[in-house]
Amino acid sequence: MSAGPGLGREEAALAARLRRQWPVSGPSEALDQAVLARAGTARGARRRTRARLPWLLASAAAAVLAVGTVLRLAVAPAPTDDILATEAAAPAAPAATPAAARQPVASGGAETAAPERSALRAPAATQPVQAAERQAAGVTAPPSPPADDGGARQAVAVPAAAEAELAAAVALLEAGQDAAAAAAARTLLRRWPGIELPEPLQALLAEPAPVE
């Protein structure tokens, strides 16, 4: 066996056979574009940061809203439990303040239909009122944890490691490289399942794949 860079006869024959019987095309165009975008990201971060400023601001605002929602969910009592607790306590004080005790239920049709949602939207200013009503009704049950809405409102933060790839995918989309952007977005989803993609990327992925 030759130790130098040149292949021996058997090695050369096997190499030729390998290329003939297992030919491999190069990387796809989408992969090319993803790598090139990444290289561009590494070099011109400042310029691209300026270009991406609106998107970054929108993302920051969305993150602040998401955190606010989570915090509000963490402290807000759920009307469902108000109802249950009030009804459980009703026999003890049936004539005390029935109207006040049932106030959250009677406050509106939408809330009656979907009490969990109403908890999410309830302004913080109503909480002292509800607490006072509970106290007046003799209800001593503590506020329950926030209602579970199936995870729809749980914010999925973008991992720091995914930031660069997400930015690259958005840059590709902005450059009109839809196929490359879609490929990059799919890679992101595969690596970080549940990651929150910007709306344009979500829309792009929702489109039917072009026939090649």
CB of 192 to another protein, least distance (A): 13
Of residues 28 and 140, the one with the C-beta less far from another protein? 28
**CA–CA gap between residue 165 and residue 201 (Å, rounded):** 13
**CA–CA gap between residue 151 and residue 149 (Å, rounded):** 6
Is residue 163 part of the contact set for another protein (CB under 8 A)? no
Is residue 15 part of the contact set for another protein (CB under 8 A)? yes
**CA–CA gap between residue 180 and residue 156 (Å, rounded):** 24
**CA–CA gap between residue 103 and residue 83 (Å, rounded):** 9
Segment near another protein (CB under 8 A); pick from 28-36, 113-121, 133-141, 202-210: 28-36
Segment near another protein (CB under 8 A); pick from 2-10, 97-105, 125-133, 136-144: 2-10
Distance (Å) of CA 152 to CA 65, 96, 117, 166: 14, 39, 11, 22
Phi, psi of 150 (to 5 degrees): 80, 10
Of residues 22 and 125, the one with the C-beta less far from another protein? 22
167 neighbors 48 (Cβ within 8 angstroms): yes
Is residue 14 part of the contact set for another protein (CB under 8 A)? yes
Of residues 52 and 72, the one with the C-beta less far from another protein? 52
Which residues are at the interface with another protein (CB under 8 A)?
A: 1, 3-7, 10-11, 14-15, 17-29, 31-40, 42-43, 164, 175, 177, 187, 190-191
